[in-house]
Structure 1
Amino acid sequence: MKVTAVRTTPIRVPIAVAPYSTEGAGTKREWYRLGRITAERPEPAVEYVIVTIETDEGVVGVGESVTDIGFFGEPIEQVRSLIEFHFGPRLLGADPFDREKLLHSIEFRGNSCAKAGIDLALHDLIGKALGIPVYKLLGGQVRSRVPVSIEVAGGPPDAMAESCLASMKQGVRAFKAKIGGIPDDDVERIAAMRAAVGPGVSIRTDANQGYSVKEAIRFCRLAESRGLGVDLLEQPVAAWDIAGMAHVRASVDTLIEADEAAYSVHDVMNIIRQSAADVINIKIGKAGGLYAAKKIAALAEAAGLKCVLGTAFGLGPEVAAKLHLAASTVGVTDAVEFTEILLHGNPLASPGHEALSVPLDADGCLPVPVGPGLGVELDPARIDELTIR
């Protein structure tokens, strides 16, 4: 089997409001300056690149690249150009089963979202060629259903509490609050959420690099003293400040999770060496795909750290890929983040559309797809509607 073509389709999905507030709530790193709305993109939307790999035997793999200038620094124009003119041509004529060789051939600095689209399409293709689900390529099945966590945008305490209650009506039983502004104010936000959801619901927090070291320590100590049951604090300080994150971790009881600081295996190795985190946030778009994500999970396991699979949005193939990764990885802890299922739903064909949508089942879980490859198919009519022309 040989690769004959690598194609891309640019997608824009309109959404009601921008995903995260940037004015006075959430991480102050983004207040008034890092919003996604511009003169070129005046309406709220999220954008993706669908990646299709074709072969001479008629087997086709479909993946996707998340694109975002705000978090990843990889807008859709960049991702599509990289795949079409740099990464895709390196695959032509190659055996798609040679994952290590092919993914190494595109291992240039950065560009993790573009790499992830190639990686997901390769895994989907190989799974389809063998007639097995992707989780079997990744180590077999640890779990068949995956608990869902949803992000809660920063805002007034009452609004964040109401957002949780609305999501609970859809079956959600775990949340991650976007904070990182003023520690005392953020504690009031978490207190309102906890009062609304009760003691049995998971609440994580994410500062998105917004705190100083002292602010992060203050937030944790205040939350601990009030018994708010915060599961962890994600990326409390700037991604480059590994020593500062290590100081926060050594000063509090709350678990500290690395996210923006943990893209590659090399990043994670550095975090481990400096004892800077208790938990590693793995995003498929950060890692550059499933293959690298499994390596990060193995590295974390060797160091005695747990992993959270974080949200980076997704049309459907990436949602399925996260489920396969969670299904095949012992070190993944608790709920997996799927904010996208409430943000814009999915353009999948049945039965995947219904299976990977809200409302969730009684335990707040999504099922792991069991069909060949990623186990989902895009709806051609919906994709045609969403294609950027």
Structure 2
Amino acid sequence: MIIENIETFKQCVPLTKPFKTALRTVAQAESIIVKITCDNGIIGWGEAPPTHVITGDSMGSINGALLHVIKPVLLGGSLSAYERLFSLLDNSIIANPSAKAAVDMAIYDCLSQSANLPLYQYLGGYRDTLETDFTVSVNDPDEMGEDALRYAKKGFNVLKVKVGKDDPDLDFQRIRAIRQRAGREIKLRLDANQGWSVKEAVRIIRRLEDAQLDIELIEQPVHRTDIRGLKAVSDAVDIPIMADESIFSPQDAFELLRTRSTDLINIKLMKSGGIHKALLINKMAEMCGVECMVGSMIESKLGLTAAAHLAASQKNITRCDLDAALMLDYDPVDGGIIYQGRDISFPKQPGLGIANLKGLRGIVYEG
């Protein structure tokens, strides 16, 4: 099975409501779609959204890396030697994790189709259903409380709450408003997106603990490069701390695991460069007794389907944050994972189970 062609397309879908974090506000889901065609007719799909403030990738940089660097390296490569392909992909260009992730998931789509297995079974098949949380964007406390109540009424029993913007005292009011409106049966996860200093993080987390607001975990409280600070926060509080932006590569994960700087790890394909490296991160974490969550950027059901297959395949991936497709104004993907409220199930078709993508536009630029 030889890679015969690699094509790129542009996809853009409006969100039903702007997505707000401490780092950015997003009104539409843009991405580069990758299509790999093999000589036996098998087609694999991948997706790479631009997330400048996290991965450093833009639409232009993703497309340029794919067409000018990665495509020439991989054309003619054999999927029967996929470890060699993944090595070539990884070494083809420095950084550019989103571009690599799109190609990686398209290769895995082809491989699992060739094996006539859904991807989650090809990767290990630990479970065949998942549950996702739903994200509450950072806004004023009253609006966040209303949003949380609305999502709870839709059946989401785990909410991921964005904080870390403006003022830690305001963050406390936000969480208290959500807890009051959504009730005690809803599980709350907080994501500060690097928005606090170490002292601010310790102070507000202890305040949340003292107020008995029952927080499951707190994600990336401090700047991504402040590993000592992350460890200081983890050591000073009882609520488990999850690393996100601090971990891109297996090397990043090794350092945080070695120093016991985090209690949990959030794996995202757009940070790790795809499923191949994500599996390494998860296995290292499992060896150290650290559970993982699989999350996503603002992307369509295509990228989320690949992430969900990874999550379902591995025992140590115990949490999912795969709600981005539910925020879109419409679903541009025929096939892929199936949402029923918070529940995610998988199609029986081999690979990612993608039948078609609607509204794709050919790339009219190459830079």
TM exceeding 0.5: yes
Deviation at 1:98, TM superposition (A): 2.3
Residue 303 of structure 2 aligns with which residue? 318
Q: In structure 2, the residue corresponding to 1:314 is in which secondary structure?
A: coil
Q: 1:13 & 1:119 partners in 2: Cα distance?
A: 23
User: Which amino acid letter does the alignment assign opposite residue 158 of structure 1?
Assistant: D
Question: Please, which runs of 5 or more residues in structure 1 have no aligned partner?
Answer: 21-25, 37-43
TM alignment of 1:12-23, pairs within 5 A? 12-20=12-20
User: Which amino acid letter does the alignment assign opposite residue 383 of structure 1?
Assistant: G
Residue 359 of structure 2 aligns with which residue? 383
Contact kept? 2:296, 2:324, Cα under 8 Å: yes
Q: 1:388 & 1:315 partners in 2: Cα distance?
A: 18
Q: 2:51 & 2:218 partners in 1: Cα distance?
A: 23
122-131 or 308-317, which moves further after superposition? 308-317
Picking from 166, 178, 186, the partner of 1:193 is 178
Contact kept? 1:60, 1:125, Cα under 8 Å: yes
Q: In structure 2, the residue corresponding to 1:97 is in which secondary structure?
A: helix
Q: In structure 1, the residue corresponding to 2:69 is in which secondary structure?
A: helix
Cα–Cα, structure 1 residues 71 and 275, in superposed 2: closer, same or farther, change >3 Å?
A: same
Matched, 1:168 2:152: yes
Contact kept? 2:270, 2:296, Cα under 8 Å: no
Residue 338 of structure 2 aligns with which residue? 356
TM alignment of 1:1-389, pairs within 5 A? 1-20=1-20, 26-27=21-22, 30=23, 44-107=27-90, 108-139=93-124, 141-181=125-165, 182-349=167-334, 352=335, 356-357=338-339, 359-360=340-341, 364-379=342-357, 382-384=358-360
User: Which amino acid letter does the alignment assign opposite residue 338 of structure 2?
Assistant: L
Question: Please, which runs of 5 or more residues in structure 2 have no aligned partner?
Answer: none
Q: String of CA shifts for 1:43-95, please: whole Å, max 9, x gaps.
A: x3221111111111111111111222232210111101111111111111111
Deviation at 1:283, TM superposition (A): 0.4
Deviation at 1:376, TM superposition (A): 2.4
Larger strand fraction of residues: 2
Cα–Cα, structure 1 residues 366 and 35, in superposed 2: closer, same or farther, change >3 Å?
A: closer
Residue 40 of structure 1 aligns with which residue? none
Q: In structure 1, the residue corresponding to 2:242 is in which secondary structure?
A: strand
Cα–Cα, structure 1 residues 387 and 224, in superposed 2: closer, same or farther, change >3 Å?
A: farther
Q: 2:53 & 2:15 partners in 1: Cα distance?
A: 16
Q: 1:68 & 1:205 partners in 2: Cα distance?
A: 20
Contact kept? 1:316, 1:376, Cα under 8 Å: no
Computed over aligned residues only, the root mean square deviation of the Cα atoms, in angstroms, reads 1.8
TM-score between the two structures when normalised by the length of structure 1: 0.88
Deviation at 1:388, TM superposition (A): 6.5
Contact kept? 2:74, 2:89, Cα under 8 Å: no
Cα–Cα, structure 1 residues 219 and 370, in superposed 2: closer, same or farther, change >3 Å?
A: farther
Deviation at 1:14, TM superposition (A): 2.5
Q: 1:91 & 1:177 partners in 2: Cα distance?
A: 40
Q: 1:286 & 1:185 partners in 2: Cα distance?
A: 30
Q: 1:35 & 1:291 partners in 2: Cα distance?
A: 30
Q: 2:146 & 2:328 partners in 1: Cα distance?
A: 16
Q: 1:273 & 1:152 partners in 2: Cα distance?
A: 33
User: Which amino acid letter does the alignment assign opposite residue 342 of structure 1?
Assistant: M
Q: In structure 1, the residue corresponding to 2:45 is in which secondary structure?
A: strand
Aligned residue-pair number: 361
Q: 1:183 & 1:66 partners in 2: Cα distance?
A: 30
TM-score between the two structures when normalised by the length of structure 2: 0.93
Contact kept? 2:51, 2:297, Cα under 8 Å: no
Contact kept? 1:309, 1:326, Cα under 8 Å: yes
Q: 1:387 & 1:158 partners in 2: Cα distance?
A: 43
Q: String of CA shifts for 1:176-196, please: whole Å, max 9, x gaps.
A: 111113222211211111122
Deviation at 1:387, TM superposition (A): 6.0
Q: 2:191 & 2:234 partners in 1: Cα distance?
A: 15
Residue 39 of structure 1 aligns with which residue? none
